[in-house]
Structure 1
C-alpha cells in the first residue's frame, strides 16, 4: 500500500511537502518588516508563515487539501497568533471557524443537491431545458451549455459535470452515427460546453460553489457585513447570463467546422427523458422542498426581519444575522428530506464532506490573519492598488485570479486571494467570480478534468479555446466589476 501511494506522489508534491514548512520557517525566523509591526511582536510573522505553508501545500496538493485546512488548529495556538496566554482559548478561536454558519449553509446545500441527484430530478431538468431550446446544432450546443449552468447553480460543479458528460457523449454518439463520420470539432465543443457550463453556473448562487461561501465568510469576518442570498445573486447571476452567450459564440466558432445536420439530437434527448419515466413521488417531494428553500433564501431579508425579534426573545437576545437564517433554511430543508425518507444515507455518503474542512480552514486562516495584525499590514502594502482607477483594479484582480486558478484549485485560489486583497467587497467579489473562470487547462477545475478524461477533447483544443475564454473572462469581469458589482455590493 505504501509503495503504491509513493508511486502516485509527483515530484511537485514532494517539493511542496518540503517547501511548505521550509518557507514557513524562513518567514517566521528571519527578521523582516513583519517583525517590526508595533505592539504585535512575532504574531504577524507567525500568521504569514502559516499562510505560506498552507498556500504551498494547497497549490502543489502536497497532502489532501482538507488536511492542510487543519494546520491553523495546531499551528496558530502553538505560535501564539491570537496573542492569548491560554492555549485552550487559542485552540477555541482556531477551531471556531470550522462551525461558522456558512459551513452549515454549504452543508445543507450539498445535502439538498444530493437529494436532487438521488431522484434524478437534476437530470430531468437539464434534459427539459435542452429540449426546450432546440436540437438544431447551434441550439443544441447552447442547450447543453445553458442546461449545465442551470443545474450547476444549485448543485456542485463537479456533480453537474459527472451527470452531464454521459448525456453529452450519448448525444455525440447519436450524431456521429447519423452522419456516418467523426465530428471532431463539434464533439469537442459540445463536451467543453459541459465543463464550461459547470464552472460558470456555479458562480451564480451562494451554494453553487465553495468559493462563494468563502467569499461570504471572508466579507463577514473582515468587513463585519453580511452578503444576503438575493444580494449575492444580484451581483453574480448577471455575469453568468452575460458570459454564457460569449462562451457559446466561442464554442460554436470551433464546433461549426464539422457541424452535423439538423434534428439528429432530438432522438437522444427524447430517449433519455423516456428512460426517466413519469415524474415520481420522490422527485415531486425533493423538488418542492428545494423550491421552498430557494424562495426562503430569496426572501431572506424581510422574513429575517420578522423572525429576529422572536429569536432574540427566545434565545436571550441572540442576533439573527443573515448567515444564521440562510444556514437554518439549508439545514431545515436537508433534515426535512431525511425525515420524509427522500434523502438516503448512501446519497449523503457521496457528498464531498471534506470540502467543509477546506472551507473551515480558509475561514480559520482568515481569522488568524486578521487577529495577528497581518491583514492590516498587507492592506497598507496594497494601498496603492486602491489608488488606481477602478477599471485597472478590477482588471488586475480578475486577471491575477484567473492566472492563479489555472495552477491551483478554485477554493485554494480564493482562500489566498481574498486574504491579501484590500477590504473592498467589489474587489473580493470579482476575485471570487474569476476563480471559476479558468477554461484552458484540465487541472484548472474538476469539470475541466472530467471532460478532458472523456477522451473527446484534446489538450491543444482545450488550451486554444480556453485561453481565448480566459482573456474574455478577464476583460468582461474588468468592466462588469466597474459598472455593476461596485454598485450592487458597495
Structure 2
C-alpha cells in the first residue's frame, strides 16, 4: 500500500519558522516604550514578543496552527508574563484559557454538527430549502446561497462546503445536459455561491465559526460580561440576511451571461431527496436533540435565572454565567446523542479537534496581553482610532480585517485583531464578522479553496467577483456596525 507523500514545506513557511523567534527576540531585548511602562518591568515586552511569534507562525503557517497555539503554555511562564507568583501559578494561569467554557461550547457545537452530518440531516435541510425557494436559474442560485448559509449557521464552514459542492455539481451537470452546452458562467456562479454562503452563514451564530467563539471569549475577558446566544444572533444574523442578496446580485451578474432557460434543476433536487428516502429514526432523534438545544440556547437567560440558585447551593456559591449554561447545553446534547447511539465515535473522529487548541491559544494570548499591561499600552497607541468619527472607526476596522484575512486564516486574523483593537464591543464584533468576508482568493478560507478545486472556478473569475464583494462587505459592515451593532452591543 503506497503512502501519501507529506506536503512539502514552502519557502514562506521556512521564512516564518525563522522569523517568528527572531522577531520575538528583537521585540523582547531591544529597548522600546514597552520596557518603560511603570510597574510592569519586562512583562509587556515579553507578551508582545510571544504575540509577534504566534502571529508570524499563524500567518505563514510555519507550524500547525494548533501547535502554535500552545506556545503560551511554555513561553508565558518562562518569561514571567503574569508577574511574580511562582512557576506553578504561571503555568496554571497560562493553561486556564484552554478550559474556558467557550471551548466546551464550541466542542459541543461541533459534536452536534457531526451528528447532523452522520445522519445526512444537514443535506436534507439544504435540499428542502432549495426546493422551497424555486428552481429557475435566478432562484436556483439564490437557493444555493441561502441553503448553504442556513446549514453553515450550525456546522463548520468547511463541512458545509464539502457537502454542498456535489449537490452543485449535480445541478450544473443536469442543466448542461438540458441546454446541450457548457455553462461556464453559471457553473462558476453556483460554485462560488457554495463558498460565499458557507463563509457568510458562519457569521450568524456563536457556534457557526471558531471566530465567533474567539469573540465571545475575548469580550468575556476584557469586559467581564458574557455575550448571550440570542444577543450574539441579534447582532450578527441580520448581517447574514442583508449580505446574502448582495452576494446573489454580484454572482448573478456573472451567471446570467449563459442566458439559461428554465432548466431542470428541480429534477436534480427531487432525485437527491428521493435518494435520501423517508426521514430515518436517527435523523428524527438528532433533529429533536438539536431543536431542544437551540430552544435552550434561545431561552437561556430566563432558564439560567431559574437554575442559578440551586447550582449555587449545590456547588458552594458557584455563579452560573451564560457561558457555563450554553456550554453545558452543548455538551449534554452531544452526550445524549452518544448515549442513545445516534452519534458514533467514527463521526467524532472526523471533527477538527485541533480547532479547540487554536481557540485556547487565542484565549491564552489575550489573557497574557491583558495581565502584562500590554493591552493598556496598545490602547494608548491606538487612541487615534478612537478619535475618529464612529463611522470611520468601523470602516478602518472592517477594511483592515478583510485585508488581513486574505493572507491569513479567519481565526488567526481574529486572534490578532481582537487583542489590539480598543475595548469596544461593536468594533470587536465588526472585526469578527469581517474576518469571514474574504471572497477574492482561494487561500482566503477553506470553502474558497474547495470550490476552486471544482474545475468551474478560475482565479480571474473568483478575484473579479470576490474583490467586488470584499469592497461591498467593508462598506456594508461600516454602515451596519455603526447603525446596528453599536446599539445592540454597546
Same fold (TM over 0.5): yes
- 2:415 matched residue in structure 1: 415
Once residues 307 and 290 of structure 1 are traced to their aligned partners in structure 2, the CA distance between those partners, rounded to angstroms, is 21
SS at match of 1:443: coil
* Distance apart, 1:284 and its partner CA: 0.2
Once residues 259 and 230 of structure 1 are traced to their aligned partners in structure 2, the CA distance between those partners, rounded to angstroms, is 42
Once residues 4 and 287 of structure 1 are traced to their aligned partners in structure 2, the CA distance between those partners, rounded to angstroms, is 40
SS at match of 1:103: helix
Deviations 1:227-251 (A, max 9, x none): 0000000000000000000000000
- 2:277 matched residue in structure 1: 277
- 1:306 matched residue in structure 2: 306
Q: TM-score, normalised by structure 1?
A: 0.99
Q: Check if 1:12 corresponds to 2:4.
A: no
Q: Does the CA-based 8 Å contact 1:137-1:259 persist in structure 2?
A: no
Q: Check if 1:345 corresponds to 2:345.
A: yes
In the TM superposition, 1:358-397 aligns within 5 A as: 358-397=358-397
- 1:120 matched residue in structure 2: 120
Q: Check if 1:166 corresponds to 2:150.
A: no
- 1:48 matched residue in structure 2: 48
| Deviating more after overlay: 255-264 vs 281-290 | 255-264
Deviations 1:408-467 (A, max 9, x none): 000000000000000100000000000000000000000000010111100000000000
Deviations 1:223-274 (A, max 9, x none): 1111000000000000000000000000001100004211410111000000
Q: TM-score, normalised by structure 2?
A: 0.99
- 1:183 matched residue in structure 2: 183
Once residues 278 and 260 of structure 2 are traced to their aligned partners in structure 1, the CA distance between those partners, rounded to angstroms, is 31
Once residues 30 and 222 of structure 2 are traced to their aligned partners in structure 1, the CA distance between those partners, rounded to angstroms, is 28
- 2:356 matched residue in structure 1: 356
Deviations 1:262-306 (A, max 9, x none): 141011100000000000000000000000000000101111111
**Cα distance, 1:223–1:2 mapped onto 2, change above 3 Å:** farther
Once residues 301 and 236 of structure 2 are traced to their aligned partners in structure 1, the CA distance between those partners, rounded to angstroms, is 18
SS at match of 1:438: coil
Q: Does the CA-based 8 Å contact 2:141-2:190 persist in structure 1?
A: yes
Q: Check if 1:217 corresponds to 2:199.
A: no
Q: Does the CA-based 8 Å contact 1:59-1:407 persist in structure 2?
A: yes
Unaligned ranges ≥5, structure 2? none
- 1:327 matched residue in structure 2: 327
* Distance apart, 1:84 and its partner CA: 2.3
Deviations 1:35-77 (A, max 9, x none): 0000000000000000000000000000100000000000000
SS at match of 1:208: coil
Once residues 224 and 387 of structure 2 are traced to their aligned partners in structure 1, the CA distance between those partners, rounded to angstroms, is 23
Q: Check if 1:450 corresponds to 2:450.
A: yes
Q: Does the CA-based 8 Å contact 1:168-1:190 persist in structure 2?
A: yes
Q: Does the CA-based 8 Å contact 2:178-2:263 persist in structure 1?
A: no
Once residues 84 and 224 of structure 2 are traced to their aligned partners in structure 1, the CA distance between those partners, rounded to angstroms, is 22
Pairwise CA RMSD: 1.2
SS at match of 1:63: coil
- 1:240 matched residue in structure 2: 240
Once residues 276 and 387 of structure 2 are traced to their aligned partners in structure 1, the CA distance between those partners, rounded to angstroms, is 57
* Distance apart, 1:3 and its partner CA: 12
Once residues 99 and 51 of structure 2 are traced to their aligned partners in structure 1, the CA distance between those partners, rounded to angstroms, is 20
Q: Check if 1:149 corresponds to 2:149.
A: yes
* Distance apart, 1:4 and its partner CA: 5.2
Q: Check if 1:110 corresponds to 2:149.
A: no
Q: Does the CA-based 8 Å contact 2:152-2:201 persist in structure 1?
A: yes
- 2:94 matched residue in structure 1: 94
Deviations 1:178-232 (A, max 9, x none): 1110100000000000000000000000000000000000000011111000000
Kindly report structure 1 stretches of 4+ aligned residues shifted beyond 4 Å: 1-5
Q: Does the CA-based 8 Å contact 1:434-1:473 persist in structure 2?
A: yes
Q: How many residues align?
A: 489
SS at match of 2:443: helix
Once residues 281 and 50 of structure 1 are traced to their aligned partners in structure 2, the CA distance between those partners, rounded to angstroms, is 50
Once residues 326 and 28 of structure 1 are traced to their aligned partners in structure 2, the CA distance between those partners, rounded to angstroms, is 39
Q: Does the CA-based 8 Å contact 1:193-1:251 persist in structure 2?
A: yes
Q: Does the CA-based 8 Å contact 1:183-1:259 persist in structure 2?
A: no
Q: Does the CA-based 8 Å contact 1:81-1:368 persist in structure 2?
A: yes
Deviations 1:361-398 (A, max 9, x none): 00000000000000010011111211110000000000
- 1:228 matched residue in structure 2: 228
Deviations 1:2-34 (A, max 9, x none): 9954x6100000000000000000000000000
Q: Does the CA-based 8 Å contact 2:175-2:263 persist in structure 1?
A: no
Once residues 11 and 295 of structure 2 are traced to their aligned partners in structure 1, the CA distance between those partners, rounded to angstroms, is 49
Once residues 439 and 363 of structure 1 are traced to their aligned partners in structure 2, the CA distance between those partners, rounded to angstroms, is 27
Once residues 25 and 391 of structure 1 are traced to their aligned partners in structure 2, the CA distance between those partners, rounded to angstroms, is 38
Once residues 386 and 262 of structure 2 are traced to their aligned partners in structure 1, the CA distance between those partners, rounded to angstroms, is 52
- 2:486 matched residue in structure 1: 486
- 2:268 matched residue in structure 1: 268
